[in-house]
C-alpha cells in the first residue's frame, strides 16, 4: 500500500511539473521584426527563463494566422490585423503578450505607375496588406472602389508583376528588397513611414492558456527585453544570424532594420492600441474582410 501511495505521489508530481511548463509553439513568418524571437533560441533565452519553445516558420502572415486559428501553434507573431481577423474565427479571447515593434518605413506599396487609381493591386486578403492599402487610399483621397484588389501573398507577387497581372503590390522585407532588385520600374509609392505607429507587430496567445500559465507573459517579456539588449550591445553577433535566416545580405537587413522601431517592456504603455485597433476594424469591416467589428479586449485587466 505504501509503495502504491508513493507511486501515485510521483505520478502526480510528474504531471504537475509537465503542466507547469507547457511547450509553446510560436509561429513566425519572414520579417526582420520577428527575428529576435527566433535568435532568442540561439542565445538560449527561453531555456534561461524556463520556457519550452518551438519556433514554427510559415511563408506569410496569413499562414501564421491560419495556423493559430487551427491550433497548430500556441503563440502568434503578427500585426494587430491578424489578431483581429483571427479573433473573428475563434471563440477563445486572444491576448497580446508583447508589442515587439512598429514599422516606420519597411512596409510598402510597390508600384510601376504614378497613380494607382483604377489599377490592379496585389494584396494578402484579411491581412496587413489590406490595412496598408486602405491607409494609402485614404491618404490619396481614394477608396477601395477606385482600385481592383488581386489576391496575392508574398510568394507570388514577383510572378504577378512579371506577368503584368498587377500594377502594384503590398510588400515588406525581405520580399520587398528582392522585388525592388528584380522588377524593373518598381518604386515605393507608399510606406509605413507615412503612418507611424499604425503598423504594430505583436506576440499574442489564447487567453485560456495564459490563465492556466500566467507566468508565460512575464517570462516572454524578459526574453524579449534580453534579446533587445543583445541586439543593442552586440549587433555584429545578432544581425548576421537574422540576415542568414531572412536570406538577404547583412547590409540589406541593416537597411530594413532602420525602419523598424523595437519596443521594450518600458515602451508598452505608450503603444496606441485603441486608436490603431479602431482604424483596422473600420477598414477591414468596410472592405468586407470581417463581418462584424471586434471589441477592443486585448489585455486581461
Domains of the chain: 2-103+198-286 (3.40.190.10), 108-194 (3.40.190.10)
Determine the Cα–Cα distance for residues 199 and 102; give it in Å rounded to an integer. Answer: 6
C-alpha cell at 176: 520587398
Determine the Cα–Cα distance for residues 190 and 140; give it in Å rounded to an integer. Answer: 10
Residue 5: the pLDDT is: 46
**Burial letters 27-64, b for 16+ CB under 10 A, else e:** bbbbbbbbbbbbbbeebebbeebebebebeebebbbbb
Give 88's strand partners: none
Beginning with the edge strand found earlier in the chain, give each strand of the sheet holding 148-151 in spatial order: 148-151, 120-123, 168-171, 108-111, 187-191
Q: Mapping DSSP to helix (H, G, I), strand (E, B) and coil, where does residue 206 land?
A: strand
Q: Which residue has the cell 531572412?
A: 246
DSSP code at position 81: H
Residue 6: the pLDDT is: 52
Determine the Cα–Cα distance for residues 69 and 18; give it in Å rounded to an integer. Answer: 24
Q: At what angle do helices 80-89 and 128-139 cross, to 10 degrees?
A: 120
Determine the Cα–Cα distance for residues 130 and 135; give it in Å rounded to an integer. Answer: 9
Residue 300: the pLDDT is: 64
C-alpha cell at 283: 477598414
Neighbours of 260 (CB within 10 A): 22
**Alpha-carbon dihedral sign for residues 37, 38, 43, 44:** positive
Closest among 267, 273, 270 to 299, alpha carbons compared: 273
Residue 15: the pLDDT is: 47
Q: Mapping DSSP to helix (H, G, I), strand (E, B) and coil, where does residue 73 land?
A: coil
Determine the Cα–Cα distance for residues 278 and 297; give it in Å rounded to an integer. Answer: 12
Determine the Cα–Cα distance for residues 218 and 210; give it in Å rounded to an integer. Answer: 11
Query: Residue 272 contacts by C-beta under 8 Å, 6 or more apart in sequence?
Result: 197
Residue 27: the pLDDT is: 98
Residue 288: the pLDDT is: 80
Residue 284: the pLDDT is: 83
Q: Each residue of 110-129: pLDDT tens digit?
A: 999 999 999 999 998 878 88
C-alpha cell at 47: 531555456
What are the φ and ψ backbone dihedral angles of 76, each rounded to 5 degrees? -120, 125
Q: How far is CA 155 from the centre of its chain?
A: 16
Q: Is the CB of residue 79 less than 8 Å from the CB of residue 31? A: no
Question: Where does residue 165 fall: left (phi above 0), alpha (psi -120 to 50 degrees), or beta otherwise?
Answer: alpha
Residue 57: the pLDDT is: 95
Positions in the chain short of pLDDT 70: 1-20, 300-301
Helices (H), the chain: 2-20, 35-42, 45-48, 61-69, 80-89, 128-139, 157-162, 175-182, 207-212, 215-233, 235-246, 250-257, 273-286
Amino acid at each position: 500500500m505504501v509503495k502504491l501511495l508513493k507511486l501515485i505521489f510521483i505520478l502526480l508530481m510528474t504531471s504537475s511539473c509537465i503542466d507547469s511548463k507547457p511547450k509553446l509553439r510560436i509561429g513566425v513568418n519572414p520579417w526582420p521584426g520577428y527575428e529576435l524571437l527566433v535568435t532568442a533560441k540561439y542565445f538560449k533565452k527561453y531555456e534561461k527563463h524556463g520556457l519550452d519553445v518551438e519556433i514554427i516558420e510559415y511563408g506569410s502572415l496569413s499562414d501564421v494566422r491560419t495556423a493559430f486559428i487551427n491550433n497548430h501553434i500556441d503563440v502568434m507573431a503578427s500585426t494587430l490585423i491578424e489578431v483581429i481577423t483571427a479573433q473573428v474565427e475563434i471563440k477563445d479571447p486572444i491576448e497580446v503578450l508583447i508589442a515587439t515593434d512598429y514599422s516606420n518605413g519597411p512596409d510598402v506599396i510597390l508600384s510601376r505607375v504614378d497613380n494607382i487609381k483604377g489599377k490592379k493591386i496585389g494584396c494578402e486578403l484579411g491581412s496587413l496588406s489590406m490595412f496598408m492599402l486602405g491607409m494609402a487610399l485614404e491618404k490619396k483621397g481614394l477608396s477601395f472602389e477606385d482600385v481592383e484588389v488581386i489576391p496575392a501573398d508574398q510568394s507570388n507577387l514577383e510572378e504577378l508583376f512579371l506577368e503584368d497581372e498587377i500594377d502594384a503590390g503590398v510588400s515588406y522585407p525581405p520580399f520587398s528588397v528582392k522585388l525592388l532588385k528584380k522588377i524593373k520600374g518598381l518604386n515605393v509609392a507608399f510606406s509605413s513611414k507615412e503612418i507611424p505607429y499604425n503598423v504594430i507587430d505583436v506576440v499574442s496567445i489564447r487567453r485560456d492558456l495564459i490563465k492556466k500559465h500566467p507566468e508565460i507573459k512575464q517570462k516572454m517579456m524578459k526574453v524579449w527585453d534580453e534579446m533587445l539588449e543583445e541586439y543593442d550591445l552586440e549587433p555584429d553577433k545578432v544581425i548576421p544570424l537574422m540576415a542568414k535566416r531572412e536570406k538577404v545580405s547583412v547590409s540589406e537587413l541593416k537597411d530594413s532594420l532602420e525602419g523598424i522601431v523595437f519596443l521594450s517592456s518600458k515602451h508598452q504603455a505608450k503603444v496606441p492600441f485603441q486608436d490603431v485597433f479602431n482604424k483596422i476594424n473600420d477598414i477591414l469591416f468596410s472592405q468586407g474582410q470581417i463581418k462584424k467589428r471586434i471589441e477592443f479586449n486585448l489585455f486581461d485587466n
